[in-house]
Amino acid sequence: MARSKFSSFLLIFGLAFSAHGVEKNRIEYDGLSYEVISEGEHTVSVTGYLGEKFTEKPKTVIVPATITVGNTQYTVTAIGDEAFHECRDITDLTVPETITEIGDYAFSYCVSLKEMHIPASVKSIGKGLFQDCWSLAGIDIPEGLTEIPDDMYHACDKLEKITIPASITRIGMSAFGNCVGLKEIIFPETLKEIDDLAFINCRRLQAVTLPSSLVKLGSMVFSDDESIESLSLPASLGSIGIEAFYNCRSLKTIYSWAPNPPVLKKEWHPVGGDPDLYPDNSV
Protein backbone atom coordinates (compact mmCIF):
# COMPACT_ATOMS: atom_id res chain seq x y z
CA MET A 1 0.00 0.00 0.00
CA ALA A 2 2.78 2.44 0.91
CA ARG A 3 4.50 1.77 -2.38
CA SER A 4 1.27 2.43 -4.28
CA LYS A 5 0.77 5.79 -2.55
CA PHE A 6 4.37 6.76 -3.26
CA SER A 7 3.97 5.82 -6.93
CA SER A 8 0.91 8.06 -7.30
CA PHE A 9 2.75 10.90 -5.57
CA LEU A 10 5.91 10.55 -7.61
CA LEU A 11 5.37 9.21 -11.11
CA ILE A 12 8.95 8.47 -12.01
CA PHE A 13 12.28 9.03 -10.34
CA GLY A 14 14.85 7.53 -12.69
CA LEU A 15 18.42 7.86 -13.74
CA ALA A 16 19.64 9.02 -17.13
CA PHE A 17 23.05 9.84 -18.54
CA SER A 18 24.13 12.92 -20.43
CA ALA A 19 26.28 12.86 -23.56
CA HIS A 20 29.28 13.49 -21.30
CA GLY A 21 28.52 10.49 -19.13
CA VAL A 22 27.54 12.59 -16.09
CA GLU A 23 24.71 11.01 -14.13
CA LYS A 24 21.64 13.18 -13.83
CA ASN A 25 18.40 12.56 -11.96
CA ARG A 26 15.23 13.01 -13.93
CA ILE A 27 11.94 13.43 -12.12
CA GLU A 28 8.27 13.49 -13.11
CA TYR A 29 6.24 15.09 -10.35
CA ASP A 30 2.72 16.51 -10.12
CA GLY A 31 2.28 17.21 -13.85
CA LEU A 32 5.76 18.56 -14.59
CA SER A 33 9.10 16.95 -15.47
CA TYR A 34 12.38 18.07 -13.90
CA GLU A 35 16.10 17.55 -14.22
CA VAL A 36 18.43 17.84 -11.25
CA ILE A 37 20.88 20.70 -11.70
CA SER A 38 22.91 20.04 -8.55
CA GLU A 39 22.49 17.10 -6.24
CA GLY A 40 24.70 18.80 -3.66
CA GLU A 41 22.69 22.04 -3.67
CA HIS A 42 19.39 20.21 -4.24
CA THR A 43 18.30 22.32 -7.22
CA VAL A 44 16.19 21.32 -10.23
CA SER A 45 15.07 22.76 -13.57
CA VAL A 46 11.60 22.32 -15.09
CA THR A 47 12.01 20.49 -18.41
CA GLY A 48 8.46 19.79 -19.52
CA TYR A 49 4.72 19.83 -19.00
CA LEU A 50 2.95 16.48 -18.69
CA GLY A 51 -0.61 17.71 -19.20
CA GLU A 52 -2.65 17.58 -22.38
CA LYS A 53 -0.97 20.09 -24.66
CA PHE A 54 -3.40 20.21 -27.54
CA THR A 55 -6.88 20.41 -25.98
CA GLU A 56 -9.25 23.38 -25.83
CA LYS A 57 -9.70 22.92 -22.07
CA PRO A 58 -8.30 25.96 -20.19
CA LYS A 59 -5.76 25.21 -17.53
CA THR A 60 -3.83 27.03 -14.80
CA VAL A 61 -0.30 25.83 -14.07
CA ILE A 62 1.65 26.73 -10.94
CA VAL A 63 5.36 25.97 -10.96
CA PRO A 64 6.26 25.11 -7.33
CA ALA A 65 9.16 26.69 -5.46
CA THR A 66 10.19 23.28 -4.11
CA ILE A 67 9.46 19.59 -4.67
CA THR A 68 10.08 16.76 -2.22
CA VAL A 69 11.32 13.40 -3.48
CA GLY A 70 11.66 10.79 -0.77
CA ASN A 71 13.57 12.52 2.02
CA THR A 72 15.07 15.22 -0.21
CA GLN A 73 13.61 18.66 -0.88
CA TYR A 74 14.71 20.29 -4.15
CA THR A 75 14.46 24.00 -4.96
CA VAL A 76 13.17 24.83 -8.45
CA THR A 77 15.63 27.42 -9.79
CA ALA A 78 15.27 27.21 -13.58
CA ILE A 79 12.87 26.58 -16.46
CA GLY A 80 14.60 24.85 -19.34
CA ASP A 81 14.52 25.35 -23.11
CA GLU A 82 11.04 24.74 -24.61
CA ALA A 83 9.75 23.49 -21.25
CA PHE A 84 6.21 24.70 -22.02
CA HIS A 85 6.55 25.02 -25.80
CA GLU A 86 3.22 24.61 -27.59
CA CYS A 87 1.20 24.03 -24.41
CA ARG A 88 -1.93 25.35 -26.04
CA ASP A 89 -4.31 24.73 -23.14
CA ILE A 90 -2.50 26.84 -20.51
CA THR A 91 -4.22 30.17 -19.80
CA ASP A 92 -2.38 31.19 -16.61
CA LEU A 93 1.11 30.24 -15.51
CA THR A 94 2.69 31.16 -12.18
CA VAL A 95 6.47 31.13 -11.72
CA PRO A 96 7.97 31.21 -8.20
CA GLU A 97 10.51 33.69 -6.83
CA THR A 98 13.08 30.88 -6.67
CA ILE A 99 13.52 30.92 -10.46
CA THR A 100 16.70 32.66 -11.65
CA GLU A 101 16.95 31.42 -15.24
CA ILE A 102 14.47 30.74 -18.06
CA GLY A 103 15.65 29.06 -21.27
CA ASP A 104 15.04 29.58 -25.00
CA TYR A 105 11.43 29.34 -26.25
CA ALA A 106 10.29 28.22 -22.78
CA PHE A 107 6.70 29.46 -23.31
CA SER A 108 6.55 29.81 -27.10
CA TYR A 109 3.27 28.92 -28.83
CA CYS A 110 1.34 28.97 -25.54
CA VAL A 111 -1.46 30.44 -27.60
CA SER A 112 -4.02 30.62 -24.76
CA LEU A 113 -1.67 32.23 -22.20
CA LYS A 114 -3.15 35.60 -21.21
CA GLU A 115 -0.96 36.95 -18.42
CA MET A 116 2.29 36.05 -16.75
CA HIS A 117 4.48 37.60 -14.08
CA ILE A 118 8.24 37.14 -14.45
CA PRO A 119 9.63 37.45 -10.90
CA ALA A 120 12.44 39.86 -10.07
CA SER A 121 14.59 36.87 -9.14
CA VAL A 122 15.03 36.01 -12.85
CA LYS A 123 18.43 37.20 -14.07
CA SER A 124 18.66 35.38 -17.39
CA ILE A 125 16.04 34.72 -20.08
CA GLY A 126 16.37 32.99 -23.43
CA LYS A 127 15.35 34.03 -26.93
CA GLY A 128 11.81 33.52 -28.23
CA LEU A 129 10.45 33.32 -24.69
CA PHE A 130 6.85 34.26 -25.58
CA GLN A 131 7.01 33.86 -29.37
CA ASP A 132 3.54 33.35 -30.86
CA CYS A 133 1.70 33.70 -27.54
CA TRP A 134 -1.22 35.24 -29.41
CA SER A 135 -3.43 35.84 -26.34
CA LEU A 136 -0.77 37.40 -24.12
CA ALA A 137 -2.05 40.82 -23.08
CA GLY A 138 -0.16 41.53 -19.87
CA ILE A 139 3.53 41.08 -19.22
CA ASP A 140 6.05 42.75 -16.98
CA ILE A 141 9.77 42.75 -17.72
CA PRO A 142 11.76 42.49 -14.48
CA GLU A 143 14.34 45.09 -13.51
CA GLY A 144 17.86 43.75 -13.61
CA LEU A 145 17.79 42.24 -17.09
CA THR A 146 20.17 43.99 -19.48
CA GLU A 147 18.58 42.97 -22.78
CA ILE A 148 15.36 41.81 -24.34
CA PRO A 149 16.46 38.76 -26.34
CA ASP A 150 15.71 38.03 -30.00
CA ASP A 151 12.08 37.10 -30.78
CA MET A 152 11.05 37.46 -27.12
CA TYR A 153 7.52 38.72 -27.87
CA HIS A 154 7.36 37.99 -31.60
CA ALA A 155 3.74 37.81 -32.81
CA CYS A 156 2.12 38.54 -29.43
CA ASP A 157 -0.95 40.06 -31.08
CA LYS A 158 -2.72 41.27 -27.93
CA LEU A 159 0.11 43.36 -26.47
CA GLU A 160 -0.89 47.04 -26.58
CA LYS A 161 1.63 48.84 -24.38
CA ILE A 162 5.21 48.03 -23.39
CA THR A 163 7.33 49.78 -20.77
CA ILE A 164 11.00 48.86 -21.11
CA PRO A 165 12.74 48.85 -17.69
CA ALA A 166 15.72 51.09 -16.98
CA SER A 167 18.19 48.19 -16.80
CA ILE A 168 17.70 47.29 -20.50
CA THR A 169 20.47 48.44 -22.89
CA ARG A 170 19.57 46.31 -25.94
CA ILE A 171 16.38 45.19 -27.66
CA GLY A 172 17.07 42.09 -29.74
CA MET A 173 16.23 41.12 -33.30
CA SER A 174 12.47 40.88 -33.95
CA ALA A 175 11.85 41.13 -30.20
CA PHE A 176 8.43 42.72 -30.82
CA GLY A 177 8.07 41.86 -34.50
CA ASN A 178 4.51 41.27 -35.72
CA CYS A 179 2.97 42.58 -32.48
CA VAL A 180 0.14 43.97 -34.59
CA GLY A 181 -1.80 45.37 -31.60
CA LEU A 182 1.09 47.31 -30.07
CA LYS A 183 0.17 51.00 -29.71
CA GLU A 184 2.74 52.45 -27.34
CA ILE A 185 6.36 51.85 -26.34
CA ILE A 186 8.06 53.62 -23.45
CA PHE A 187 11.84 53.44 -23.77
CA PRO A 188 14.28 54.00 -20.88
CA GLU A 189 17.10 56.53 -21.01
CA THR A 190 19.59 53.66 -20.77
CA LEU A 191 18.80 51.96 -24.07
CA LYS A 192 21.74 51.92 -26.50
CA GLU A 193 20.75 49.52 -29.28
CA ILE A 194 17.59 48.44 -31.06
CA ASP A 195 18.43 45.51 -33.31
CA ASP A 196 17.16 44.54 -36.77
CA LEU A 197 13.40 43.97 -37.23
CA ALA A 198 12.73 44.73 -33.55
CA PHE A 199 9.34 46.38 -34.24
CA ILE A 200 8.62 45.22 -37.79
CA ASN A 201 4.92 45.06 -38.69
CA CYS A 202 3.69 46.72 -35.48
CA ARG A 203 0.83 48.25 -37.40
CA ARG A 204 -0.84 50.37 -34.71
CA LEU A 205 2.17 52.40 -33.54
CA GLN A 206 1.63 56.08 -34.34
CA ALA A 207 4.43 58.03 -32.67
CA VAL A 208 7.83 56.89 -31.47
CA THR A 209 10.23 58.89 -29.30
CA LEU A 210 13.61 57.23 -29.01
CA PRO A 211 15.75 57.80 -25.89
CA SER A 212 18.71 60.17 -25.78
CA SER A 213 21.01 57.22 -24.98
CA LEU A 214 20.39 55.38 -28.27
CA VAL A 215 23.41 54.90 -30.55
CA LYS A 216 22.23 52.22 -33.00
CA LEU A 217 18.98 51.60 -34.87
CA GLY A 218 18.94 48.33 -36.85
CA SER A 219 17.81 47.40 -40.35
CA MET A 220 14.06 47.26 -41.04
CA VAL A 221 13.50 48.07 -37.37
CA PHE A 222 10.14 49.83 -37.95
CA SER A 223 9.45 48.36 -41.40
CA ASP A 224 5.75 47.93 -42.31
CA ASP A 225 4.61 49.98 -39.29
CA GLU A 226 1.95 51.64 -41.38
CA SER A 227 0.47 53.90 -38.67
CA ILE A 228 3.63 55.71 -37.57
CA GLU A 229 3.20 59.41 -38.31
CA SER A 230 6.27 60.86 -36.62
CA LEU A 231 9.66 59.86 -35.23
CA SER A 232 12.08 61.70 -32.99
CA LEU A 233 15.74 60.66 -33.26
CA PRO A 234 18.24 61.57 -30.53
CA ALA A 235 21.53 63.37 -31.11
CA SER A 236 23.38 60.28 -29.86
CA LEU A 237 22.14 58.13 -32.75
CA GLY A 238 25.09 57.35 -35.02
CA SER A 239 23.80 54.45 -37.12
CA ILE A 240 20.54 53.66 -38.90
CA GLY A 241 20.26 50.32 -40.70
CA ILE A 242 18.98 49.48 -44.17
CA GLU A 243 15.25 50.06 -44.77
CA ALA A 244 14.71 51.07 -41.15
CA PHE A 245 11.41 52.77 -42.07
CA TYR A 246 10.48 50.78 -45.16
CA ASN A 247 6.76 50.89 -45.99
CA CYS A 248 5.90 53.32 -43.17
CA ARG A 249 3.24 54.83 -45.40
CA SER A 250 1.86 57.29 -42.84
CA LEU A 251 5.26 58.64 -41.80
CA LYS A 252 5.24 62.38 -42.38
CA THR A 253 7.93 63.78 -40.11
CA ILE A 254 11.29 62.60 -38.77
CA TYR A 255 12.95 64.87 -36.22
CA SER A 256 16.67 64.56 -35.54
CA TRP A 257 18.42 66.36 -32.71
CA ALA A 258 21.88 65.72 -34.17
CA PRO A 259 23.75 68.67 -35.78
CA ASN A 260 24.69 66.25 -38.56
CA PRO A 261 21.81 63.76 -38.92
CA PRO A 262 22.76 60.12 -39.61
CA VAL A 263 22.45 58.74 -43.12
CA LEU A 264 19.34 56.70 -43.84
CA LYS A 265 20.74 53.80 -45.84
CA LYS A 266 18.99 52.92 -49.08
CA GLU A 267 18.34 49.48 -50.43
CA TRP A 268 15.42 48.80 -52.71
CA HIS A 269 13.05 46.12 -51.53
CA PRO A 270 13.68 42.91 -53.58
CA VAL A 271 10.12 42.88 -54.91
CA GLY A 272 8.33 46.03 -56.00
CA GLY A 273 10.64 48.57 -54.38
CA ASP A 274 9.07 52.02 -54.42
CA PRO A 275 11.54 54.93 -54.83
CA ASP A 276 8.88 57.30 -53.42
CA LEU A 277 9.43 55.71 -50.00
CA TYR A 278 13.00 57.03 -50.04
CA PRO A 279 12.91 60.68 -51.14
CA ASP A 280 16.54 61.14 -50.16
CA ASN A 281 19.22 59.40 -48.17
CA SER A 282 19.36 61.58 -45.08
CA VAL A 283 17.06 61.95 -42.10
- pLDDT top residue among 11 and 76: 76
Looking at the structure, do residues 62 and 158 belong to the same domain, yes or no?
no
Sequence-distant (6+) residues with CB within 8 A of 106 are: 79, 80, 81, 82, 83, 84, 85, 126, 129
Q: What is the CATH classification number for the domain harbouring 79?
A: 3.80.10.10
| 114 and 166 both lie in a single domain | no
Give the end of a domain, one of 92, 114, 132: 132
Question: Domain check: are 1 and 124 in the same one?
Answer: yes
Q: Which residue has the higher pLDDT, 60 or 150?
A: 150
Q: Band of the pLDDT at 44, cuts 50, 70, 90? A: very high
Position 130 scores a pLDDT of: 96
Query: Could you tell me if 124 and 99 are in contact, meaning their C-beta atoms sit under 8 angstroms apart?
Result: no
Band the pLDDT of 259: cuts 50, 70, 90: confident
Q: Are residues 127 and 147 in the same domain?
A: no
Checking if the pLDDT of 10 tops 70, the result is no
151 and 272 share one domain = yes
pLDDT above 50: residue 175:
yes
Same domain for 283 and 146: yes
Instruction: Check whether residue 150 and residue 98 sit in a common domain.
Output: no
Range of the domain at 279: 141-283
Q: Are 187 and 209 in contact (CB under 8 A)?
A: yes
Question: Quick one: pLDDT band at residue 107, thresholds 50, 70, 90?
Answer: very high
- Let me know whether 37 and 167 are in one domain: no
Sequence letter at residue 245: F
C-alpha gyration radius of the chain: 22
3 state DSSP class of 256: strand
Do residues 33 and 68 share a domain? yes
Neighbours of 138 (CB within 10 A): 12
Read off the pLDDT band of 265 (50, 70, 90): low
Residue 108 backbone dihedrals phi, psi, to 5 degrees: -65, 145
* Mean pLDDT of the 19-48 span: 82
Judgement on whether residues 107 and 243 belong to the same structural domain of the protein: no
Q: Give the domain-ending residue among 88, 104, 132.
A: 132
Domain boundary among 132, 167, 183: 132
d(C-alpha 36, C-alpha 34), whole Å:
7
Residues 128 and 189 occupy one common structural domain: no
Indicate whether 127 and 37 sit together in one domain.
yes
pTM of the predicted model, to two decimals? 0.82
Domain count, the chain: 2
